[in-house]
Chain A
Amino acid sequence: MSSIITSEAIKELIKAEKLIIRPLLDQEQITEIGIDFRLGGNFLVSVQGREPLINASLNNEFGRGNSRYFFQETRRQLGETFILHPNQTVLATSLEYVKLPDNYVLVLCMRSSYSRLGLTMSTIAQPGYCGCLSVELTNYNNNPINLSIGARLFQGLFYQTDKSSKYFDNQRKYVCNVRPEPSAVTNDEDLTILTRLWKARNHI
């Protein structure tokens, strides 16, 4: 049965170089039940694009709406701040570059102190994933929130899987990213099938 691993097991994995975290600025980031991750300095900020909507489908009745058109890149240095406005979503990354063992899933959650400010996010990294962790941050508070680059915003929990899997055995959309990448949702093969189906049913 899968379970969350604790600090001793995490340290063992790091020592054996099965789990890579670079940089690990402070050993205290390893907590009893996981690792605290820091906010990195690269952002994709959601902006209004010229297209009417972000098209997460391959159906083109509303135009292409590639998600890239709706995000603008910006950078900050360690120690600087980034202001997240109410209801704004930004794509960010962890400061740390991570390579996961083949038999662990990493679930990233907001640390409680930041959740209480109204920040939410959700990220899961699959076994064998390598890259900075991509994070979608949204501010549900009524007020802007000023965040420090390098602050410990996230806590990562490691779940052991019941068998190993090779990350690159499947086609991967996100490989070794160190900056946030816009969604590649339209690369999902299912969407091609669904669009074909839609066209056939509607005689397009």
Chain B
Amino acid sequence: MLPIKRLLYLQLYQAETLISNSRKYNFSDTQKDNYLKKLEELFKGIKDSIERGFDDAKIFEKKSHLDFIFKSIEFLKDSTLNTIPFEVVGCLNKAMSDWIDAQKFIIVTSLQNNLYSFSYDLSYAMNKNFYQSLETEYGVVFDQKLVQINLPLTLSKDYLSSVALYHELGHFVDLQHSITSTLRYAIYLKQVSVTDVLGYMPFLTATDIDLLKLEYHLGEYFCDLFAAQYIGETIGLFLQYITSNSAKDSPTHPSTVNRIKVISDFINGTDNPVVNLIQTAVEALTGKKMEIRYSKITSDDFYKLIPYEIKSDAELHGSIMYGWQVWLDDVGKFNQCMGYNVNLTEPTIYRVINSLVEKSIGNYFTIQHWAKNKV
């Protein structure tokens, strides 16, 4: 047997162990249970096909199918009710359903041992051919697909940092509607003038446009705007901090300074060529408009150390902004609103804000579920 084939067998048995261990996961979510069952079905199909014997030319195809099982379980493992940032995912689901049929997707998270490692895993989101090959080879159909978001383990219960997840969800929505890939070609084919946006993407002046860089940069601007619809300037604020407000761009990201300007102009309704460029593409491809979808909360509730009673989806997203607002505010406001000196230390304030955001969001969903089921 080819040594490389022995390695395929090795991975097969590794996957078998993984599948066996995964049966202990408790998701409190039938959709994830069903997805896991599909993975088991797929594994059985792969195993049977390998044991029946197959053409050596198909080794790497089989490997890619096993890789899919590994990657899916990696995300499901970190998406049990105990591990997933449940309340934030509830908010993201609401945002996702504004743009696509959320019933077809399940948001899952993978917790990374790396601070600021917020990212979107592109592995399988849009690979229709891949899912088709699973159906053809093994007869397994995945009715729902995973929206795979990576986030740092240490910040998985930090509601202030969760603003970055809205940006990552933007990547998924972008892929689903092919927004930046379409816009990239429109620019490349000179169907769209870029004269106005050169200040934001100076590399477009080159004779040979770096298409990959163009797509990356358009993607980042889109995701910033996507997030800003729901959580306003907080996405810019967080960005400024984690990128040290860099004035330089990179092959994958525009300069932070430019990103902040685009976000700020969008929120303030100031004319901006990047916003206009992306807005036009979004409207053409989705039939929807990027707009402010949050409602700013003006309340003293958090300062009075009580959760806020969220009244709408717009306020749901606004509650995370509200948490930021309180964190940035003068700590003296707690004393003022409580009517006496409560002596909260900074670490306590941090914990209190997180608790109050979590409870405000949780209560909103609790009340909705209760009302829906109370006859």
Q: Which residues on B sit within 8 Å (CB–CB) of A20?
A: 306
Shortest Cβ distance from residue A176 to the other chain B in the assembled complex, whole angstroms: 5
Q: Is A97 an interface residue (CB 8 A)?
A: yes
Q: Are A23 and B28 in contact (CB under 8 A)?
A: no
Q: Are A176 and B355 in contact (CB under 8 A)?
A: yes
Q: Are A168 and B370 in contact (CB under 8 A)?
A: no
Shortest Cβ distance from residue B354 to the other chain A in the assembled complex, whole angstroms: 9
Q: Are B366 and A166 in contact (CB under 8 A)?
A: no
Q: Are A22 and B309 in contact (CB under 8 A)?
A: yes
Q: Are A95 and B366 in contact (CB under 8 A)?
A: yes
Digit string of A157-194 for contact with B (CB within 8 Å is 1, else 0)?
A: 00000000010110000011111000000000000000
Q: Are B306 and A75 in contact (CB under 8 A)?
A: no
Q: Is B367 an interface residue (CB 8 A)?
A: yes
Which residue from chain A places its CB closest to the CB of B157 in the assembled complex? A179
- Which one of B343, B355, B369 lies within 8 Å of A79 (CB-CB)? B369
Known contacts A25-B367, A80-B28, A130-B305; decide if A74 and B356 are in contact (CB<8 Å): no
Digit string of B336-349 for contact with A (CB within 8 Å is 1, else 0)?
A: 00101111100010
Q: Are A97 and B363 in contact (CB under 8 A)?
A: yes
Q: Which residues on A sit within 8 Å (CB–CB) of B352?
A: 175-176
Question: What total of chain B residues lie within 8 Å of the partner, measured CB to CB?
Answer: 30
- Which one of A25, A150, A168, A176 lies within 8 Å of B356 (CB-CB)? A176
Q: Is B315 an interface residue (CB 8 A)?
A: no
Shortest Cβ distance from residue B191 to the other chain A in the assembled complex, whole angstroms: 49
Task: Tell me the A13-54 residues at the B interface (CB within 8 Å).
Answer: 20, 22-23, 25-26
Which residue from chain A places its CB closest to the CB of B360 in the assembled complex? A22
Q: Which residues on A sit within 8 Å (CB–CB) of B370?
A: 23, 25, 78, 150
Q: Is A152 an interface residue (CB 8 A)?
A: no
Q: Which residues on A sit within 8 Å (CB–CB) of B338?
A: 168
Q: Are A168 and B306 in contact (CB under 8 A)?
A: no
- Find the residue from B81, B341, B355, B358 having the highest chain A CB count within 10 A: B355
Q: Are A97 and B359 in contact (CB under 8 A)?
A: yes
Q: Are A99 and B304 in contact (CB under 8 A)?
A: yes
Q: Which residues on A sit within 8 Å (CB–CB) of B49?
A: none
Question: What total of chain A residues lie within 8 Å of the partner, measured CB to CB?
Answer: 28
Q: Is B128 an interface residue (CB 8 A)?
A: no
Q: Is B307 an interface residue (CB 8 A)?
A: yes
Known contacts A23-B366, A99-B305; decide if A75 and B81 are in contact (CB<8 Å): yes
Task: Tell me the A129-151 residues at the B interface (CB within 8 Å).
Answer: 130-132, 150
- Which one of B343, B358, B359 lies within 8 Å of A168 (CB-CB)? B343
Q: Is A11 an interface residue (CB 8 A)?
A: no
Task: Tell me the B317-362 residues at the A interface (CB within 8 Å).
Answer: 338, 340-344, 348, 351-352, 355-356, 358-359, 362
Shortest Cβ distance from residue B304 to the other chain A in the assembled complex, whole angstroms: 7
Q: Are A23 and B340 in contact (CB under 8 A)?
A: no
Q: Are B309 and A175 in contact (CB under 8 A)?
A: no
Shortest Cβ distance from residue B371 to the other chain A in the assembled complex, whole angstroms: 9
Q: Is B103 an interface residue (CB 8 A)?
A: no
Q: Are A75 and B86 in contact (CB under 8 A)?
A: yes
Shortest Cβ distance from residue B302 to the other chain A in the assembled complex, whole angstroms: 10
Q: Are A78 and B369 in contact (CB under 8 A)?
A: yes
Shortest Cβ distance from residue B87 to the other chain A in the assembled complex, whole angstroms: 10
Q: Is B14 an interface residue (CB 8 A)?
A: no
Q: Is B133 an interface residue (CB 8 A)?
A: no
- Which one of B82, B307, B363, B373 lies within 8 Å of A74 (CB-CB)? B82
Given contacts A75-B82, A79-B369, 17 further A-B contacts (CB under 8 A): A22-B306, A22-B359, A23-B366, A23-B370, A75-B28, A76-B81, A78-B366, A78-B370, A95-B366, A166-B340, A168-B342, A168-B344, A175-B351, A176-B351, A176-B355, A178-B307, A178-B356
Sampled A-B contacts (6; CB under 8 Å): A23-B367, A78-B370, A150-B366, A175-B305, A175-B351, A178-B307
